[in-house]
């Protein structure tokens, strides 16, 4: 086991990359060098890291020479092109994009849920979608205790999931609307999806489209949640369905989740106990005191918050809950750095 790693952050100037740098400042991972990579546009930009000035470099294949761990969050096309270049040069890649997630050769990992999958890595490990990750943290302890027959999730996703430009778009539209610009005159260039034809305002709105539409009129974001859940839980028989909605929140994804467990013997208090003891989860559930998870309070926290746990009115084995987490941390940057820490602990960084 090498003592100290050289770590590269690809997409270091983005919404996720910026948080990756913060997570690397806090990590227990022994590090030698940290290299920040982005496009030509940002080359030369200075970033303070642990009191030192690091200069952002333009991403080229040779950027990975001498790198042991490369954290990617610059979009699927960059991962497609450059992750193999990093692996070729001996790095292990933790990729935040959806590009490799469903590749059977690539482990899809939430460290609290399926760290053992890391043992199968061949150089690339995929970080799941933000909305999937927080749902897995909340549901895995319930699945282990009672099995999961089905789950129905509706998401309330923050704009930071769509990048820095989407955050700016929300702020600009909100100011314009408050200053008198009518809704039909608000300028929209990014949301609901940068890759789609039409754009709608997000300020004071709710958009039931995240990513572009795909099979059976579900969006790709919805398909990501469905397929990734089955892969992480290693169970294709779980019935999963999702409705993903973008709301005018800057950070913190919220989810209303309905589950039906398989086995007999569960009740609300046992489910609450499981969440209270679950790694990475915090139970916030006291209706008498109006205690429940909230997006604003999740910002800059690494945990997943779970509350509003109720039995379904009609279905004995059915439960409802509200699950919230910082999409840029547990949903992206923290989960990636946590994967790197786990790889180190399991001696799986090939150096
Ligand atoms: P963002 O704020 O728009 O940042 C994009 C980053 O990619 C910037 O650092 C940008 O650098 C860099 N980049 C763009 N084109 C590049 C190129 N040709 N070569 C090198 N770097 C390039 O986006 P973000 O929110 O951080 O998300 C980035 C990606 O991470 C997304 O596309 C998505 O695939 C993934 N993501 C995953 C999750 C998750 O749930 N796991 C959550 C959010 C995002 P410049 O400053 O030079 O433009
Ligand atoms: C591209 O909130 C979101 O929009 C989800 C995060 C995201 C992803 C992802 O992680 O699935 C934004 C943009 C992707 C992608 O497909 O890689």
275-301: pLDDT as tens digits:
999 999 999 999 999 999 999 999 999
Q: Tell me the per-residue pLDDT of 198-247, one tens digit each, with 9 for 90 and over.
A: 999 999 999 999 999 999 999 999 999 999 999 999 999 999 999 999 99
pTM of the model: 0.98
CB 13 near ligand 1, within 6 Å:
yes
Give yes or no for residue 132 CB within 6 A of ligand 1.
no
Residue 45 CA from chain centroid, whole number: 26
The ligand that comes nearest to the alpha carbon of residue 194 is: 2
Could you check whether the bond before residue 192 is cis, i.e. omega within 30 degrees of 0?
Answer: yes
Q: Name the segment(s) of the chain with CATH classification 3.40.50.720.
A: 5-127+332-345
CATH code reported for the domain at 5-127+332-345? 3.40.50.720
Q: Is 332 close to ligand 1, i.e. is its CB under 6 Å away? A: yes
**Interstrand relation of 69-72 and 92-95 (parallel, antiparallel or unpaired):** parallel
Task: Please say if the pLDDT value at position 250 is more than 90.
Answer: yes
Tokens at 226, concatenated: 């469905």
CA-wise closest residue to 75 among 117, 23, 37: 37
Residue nearest to atom 15 of ligand 1 (CA): 39
- Residues annotated catalytic, as ranges: 130, 253
The answer to whether 73 touches 200, Cβ cutoff 8 Å, is: no
Give the list of residues 6+ apart from residue 342 with CB closer than 8 angstroms, or none.
109, 111, 115, 118
Atom 4 of ligand 1: nearest residue by CA position: 14
Using CA positions, which residue lies closest to atom 16 of ligand 1?
Answer: 39
Tell me the CA–centroid distance for residue 143 and ligand 1, in Å.
33
Which residues of the chain does CATH 3.30.360.10 include?
A: 132-327
Number of the ligand closest to the Cα of 163: 1
The number of beta carbons lying within 10 Å of the beta carbon of residue 113 is 23
The atom number, within ligand 2, closest to the CA of 158 reads 2
pLDDT single digits (tens) 299-346: 999 999 999 999 999 999 999 999 999 999 999 999 999 999 999 999
CA distance 289 to 129: 33
Rounded CA-CA distance 60/128 in Å is 25
Fold designation for 132-327: Dihydrodipicolinate Reductase; domain 2 (3.30.360)
pLDDT for 350 equals: 78
Cis amide prior to 207 (ω within 30 degrees):
no
CA of 97 to the centre of ligand 2 (A): 7
CA of 131 from ligand 2 middle (Å) equals 9
Q: For residue 320, what are the β-bridge partners?
A: 258, 310
Of all residues in the chain, the percent with pLDDT exceeding 70 is 99
Question: Distance between CA 244 and CA 254 in Å, rounded?
Answer: 10
For 127-178, write each residue's pLDDT tens digit.
999 999 999 999 999 999 999 999 999 999 999 999 999 999 999 999 999 9
Q: How far apart are CA 239 and CA 241, in angstroms?
A: 7
Q: In the numeric block, which tokens belong to residue 63? A: 């950027």
DSSP 71-83: EE-S-HHHHHHHH
Read off the pLDDT band of 2 (50, 70, 90).
Answer: low
Distance CA 75, CA 274 (A): 36
Ligand 1 centre and the CA of 9: distance in Å?
Answer: 11
Radius of gyration in angstroms for the set of CA atoms belonging to the chain, rounded to a whole number: 20
Q: Which residues sit in the known binding site?
A: 13-16, 41-42, 101, 157, 160-161, 246, 327
Distance CA 99, CA 106 (A): 10
């Amino acid at each position: 086991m090498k003592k100290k790693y050289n770590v590269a952050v690809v997409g270091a100037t983005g919404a996720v990359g910026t948080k990756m740098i913060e997570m690397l400042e806090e990590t227990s991972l022994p590090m030698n060098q940290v290299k920040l990579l982005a496009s030509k546009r940002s080359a030369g930009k200075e970033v303070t890291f642990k009191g030192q000035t690091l200069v952002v470099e333009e991403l080229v294949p040779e950027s990975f020479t001498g790198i042991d761990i490369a954290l990617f969050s610059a979009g699927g096309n960059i991962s497609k092109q450059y992750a193999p270049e990093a692996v070729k040069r001996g790095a292990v890649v933790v990729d935040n994009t959806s590009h490799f997630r469903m590749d059977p050769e690539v482990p899809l990992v939430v460290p609290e849920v399926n760290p053992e999958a890391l043992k199968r890595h061949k150089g690339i490990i995929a970080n799941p979608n933000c909305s999937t990750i927080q749902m897995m943290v909340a549901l895995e302890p319930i699945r282990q205790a009672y099995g999961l027959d089905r789950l129905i999730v509706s998401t309330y996703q923050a704009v930071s999931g769509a990048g820095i430009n989407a955050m700016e778009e929300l702020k600009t539209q909100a100011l314009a609307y408050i200053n008198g610009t009518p809704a039909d005159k608000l300028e929209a260039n990014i949301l609901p999806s940068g890759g789609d034809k039409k754009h709608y305002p997000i300020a004071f709105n709710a958009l039931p489209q995240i990513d572009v539409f795909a099979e059976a009129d579900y969006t790709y974001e919805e398909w990501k949640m469905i397929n990734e859940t089955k892969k992480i839980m290693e169970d294709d028989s779980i019935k999963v369905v999702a409705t993903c909605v973008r709301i005018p929140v800057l950070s913190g994804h919220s989810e209303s989740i309905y589950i039906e467990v398989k086995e007999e013997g569960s009740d609300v208090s046992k489910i609450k106990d499981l969440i209270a003891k679950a790694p990475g989860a915090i139970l916030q559930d006291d209706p008498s005191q109006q205690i429940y998870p909230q997006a604003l309070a999740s910002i800059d926290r690494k945990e997943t918050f779970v509350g509003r746990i109720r039995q379904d009115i009609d279905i004995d084995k059915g439960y409802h809950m509200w699950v919230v987490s910082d999409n840029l941390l547990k949903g992206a940057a923290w989960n990636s750095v946590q994967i790197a820490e786990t790889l180190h602990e399991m001696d799986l960084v090939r150096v």
